[in-house]
Chain A
């Protein structure tokens, strides 16, 4: 089974802190994604990566950065956490070689609260 693991289930951070959310996948997938999920807004794409050290902005990249130093690991960084970044963060991975691939595999999510 494909497994996408997010390092924390719940996090509470203070405003202005630098926050790291970690994600690891074990299926050798090229694509990795970070989404945030808010009630009524669905899943919004923050950043994605299709290869090591490669990244592309999604729809809401402001206030976030990412790092992909190894194929299996994709980190989301909140440079200076703010209360409006309180949300559920979901990491996902998928195969890259097949452009028709529509199946992304998700982690269980990290619920981040910024106080």
Chain B
């Protein structure tokens, strides 16, 4: 069945360094891949998405890379800050569907 999973459950990064969070997906029919951030005590919040016909998309301090050959998605956060501490979820969606399917999440912690 459909699944979106992550390689690592936790990631610890030095403040100021770049963070890379990885995700594997299995549904070839997905048209969009999405990253959400969940801070402690809050619901997930949309960060950025990428369409399946793209390889790279940049936002403010974040870049998402998509490799359809190996069904791999990554989120890069530049100059990681304490406010980036959160659980990050990758998710996927088909154009024909309303629902968004989430992966299991990676916890990002920042070392001072």
Chain A residues proximal to chain B, CB less than 8 Å: 4, 31, 33, 35, 40-45, 48, 50, 56, 58-59, 90, 92, 94, 96, 99-100, 102-109
Contacts and interface: CB of A to CB of B under 8 A. Distances in A.
B62 interface: no
B89 A42 contact: yes
A100 B44 contact: no
Contact of A102 (B45, B93, B103): B93
Contact of B102 (A40, A43, A94, A108): A43
Contacts of A35: 102
Nearest to B97: A99
Given A50-B98, A100-B95, A102-B34, A40 B104 contact: yes
| Dominant secondary structure at the B interface | loop
Contact of A45 (B43, B45, B49, B99): B99
A106 B45 contact: yes
Contact of A58 (B45, B99, B105): B99
A104 B32 CA distance: 13
Interface of B: 4, 9, 31-32, 34, 41-46, 49, 51, 89, 91, 93, 95-105
Contacts of A107: 43
B43 A90 contact: yes
B43 A4 contact: yes
Nearest to B33: A102
20 contacts: A31-B98, A33-B100, A40-B9, A42-B103, A43-B102, A45-B102, A48-B99, A50-B98, A96-B98, A100-B51, A102-B32, A102-B100, A103-B34, A103-B46, A103-B49, A106-B42, A106-B43, A106-B44, A108-B41, A109-B43
B63 to A, nearest CB: 17
Nearest to B41: A108
A99 B96 contact: yes
Given A105-B46, A106-B45, 17 more contacts: A4-B43, A33-B99, A41-B104, A42-B4, A42-B103, A42-B105, A43-B44, A45-B101, A92-B43, A94-B98, A99-B98, A100-B95, A103-B34, A104-B46, A106-B43, A107-B43, A109-B43
